[in-house]
Structure 1
């Protein structure tokens, strides 16, 4: 059954990868063997798509000094004798190329496409090597190609179903917002706050520009929902030129966004938006002067 197979793979990852904490010394250990580096190929289905140059440079330096500590997990390449396709460990392979290694240690596993993709996702997720979008695309592959449910995925990778669901929701974001995530300018928490927002691109740009926390981003994304669209539109229509001029005057004076809302009976409220406690202190100081 699929579910039993999923559980087996989830529990068996450590055994497949091996617990090899010692530097590579050239001898075969734990089923690992050395193969010429040119006989190892990248996996086009690898969920991991981005490899930071600085990280690769640091790892390449470590490889020069200590070798590859943990063998690369591979499987035989179809129709290519003595050639292997990477399941997990592409970053180590790329670093080994930069370091000028002629051979790399590998662990060979004869697995199906589905099992290879499962292992690649599990290995990367457990090491937090994937960014949130890469993780989401990996989940989407398993669902589209192998009929997984979100509950199945949660059991395979050791995450909750809600984690899987929230990660998949990131794929609904506009490409510009996804770019922020890929570039590391937005975290998964920031991005999740923008799913379903009225203007995710505009909000994302503001979050990045102002360096907002995830909590700030959530408050920003939810703010438009606090007022019903019809009421908000009515308030905008009723704001006359004098009120707008007064808002601008106060904003110029304080250096902060100011909103004036009139209510029935001549009452109303003035809202001043600040981003730091220092800005609030400055407002208080000006009011006391």
Structure 2
């Protein structure tokens, strides 16, 4: 009997002492059950932690997009290789999901988008870890997972930083997500803020292109007066991303190096009364140049009387 009472007190708090001999037995004091903080509470907490660490299978059609766009384009060859790998060996690494805050029965992907796409194409269930993450934690997890892979290009990271900044995240949060300091973030944003998004998307990830060459592209656009629309029109989508960037930059730089059209030159020979060449005259660039031999004194006379000759011309022409 004593053991029964002991267990009853453990579970419902009845073992708490009464406040006095005359206390009403039906008026139980409001207390926190001991198991909430004791051994049973620890077991309950451990179960929740195990659930958070356990891998479950989810229908990929129940998973929605979330976070910010990290990749500018998908490589078809890489995607095909991933599909074949999962087809042959199965999904080796789980994706990370969170419950969709707007539709509790659905999920949002935190990271593992490429795996999710491949598994959906194969018609399989996706192996996933589920975490309750707010938007800030989601962005941090996405950015840190991308940084750990070290396969996002400079412009993809810069575009990622720009989207976070535009969504209202502070520089420190952006730095934590990308695992870089504020100086590097400033360099990334210096490019993402001057290269139009539509042009970045048209060029793609450009793995071999760093900050200085992206800024060189912007400088070439400014110097040639080329708009984003004009630049996009110069891109051949059949080329690889690196080649698209190179071809565009070379095209714009060629415009800068294009020589100016030579001025139109008119020439004439002036003969004296005997039919001999007296002088040659050339007109170019709004100027006239006359060359004559300095002998016989006519050259001096012409120079001395040029003012009077000009006056006579104005009188005769009404100028």
Q: TM-score, normalization: structure 1?
A: 0.54
CA–CA separation in structure 2 for the residues paired with 1:203 and 1:72: 38
Cα 1:30–1:81, aligned 2, differ >3 Å: closer, same or farther?
closer
2:101 counterpart SS class: coil
Following superposition of structure 1 onto structure 2, how do residues 32-71 of structure 1 map, counting pairs within 5 Å? 32-38=54-60, 40-49=62-71, 50-71=73-94
Cα 1:240–1:192, aligned 2, differ >3 Å: closer, same or farther?
same
CA–CA separation in structure 1 for the residues paired with 2:245 and 2:55: 46
| 1:88 is the counterpart of 2:76 | no
Following superposition of structure 1 onto structure 2, how do residues 144-163 of structure 1 map, counting pairs within 5 Å? 144-149=166-171, 152-163=173-184
Contact 1:177/1:191 (8 A) holds in 2: no
CA–CA separation in structure 1 for the residues paired with 2:205 and 2:174: 26
Following superposition of structure 1 onto structure 2, how do residues 41-190 of structure 1 map, counting pairs within 5 Å? 41-49=63-71, 50-101=73-124, 103-149=125-171, 152-168=173-189, 169-174=191-196, 177-182=199-204, 184=206, 187-189=209-211, 190=213
1:31 positional shift: 1.6
Contact 1:46/1:87 (8 A) holds in 2: no
CA–CA separation in structure 2 for the residues paired with 1:83 and 1:179: 30
Contact 1:72/1:105 (8 A) holds in 2: yes
CA RMSD of aligned residues (A): 4.3
CA–CA separation in structure 2 for the residues paired with 1:62 and 1:183: 24
CA–CA separation in structure 2 for the residues paired with 1:47 and 1:160: 21
Contact 2:142/2:177 (8 A) holds in 1: no
2:69 counterpart SS class: coil
CA–CA separation in structure 2 for the residues paired with 1:196 and 1:113: 36
Q: Which of the two has greater helix per residue?
A: 1
Count, aligned residues: 202
Contact 2:159/2:192 (8 A) holds in 1: no
1:146 counterpart SS class: coil
Cα 1:240–1:185, aligned 2, differ >3 Å: closer, same or farther?
farther
Q: TM-score, normalization: structure 2?
A: 0.50
**Cα-to-partner distance string for 1:178-214 (whole Å, 9 max, x where unaligned):** 24431649734432332344236688959x8996998
Q: Which has the higher contact order (CA 8 A, sep 6+)?
A: 1
Structure 1: gaps (5+ residues)? 1-27, 225-234, 243-289
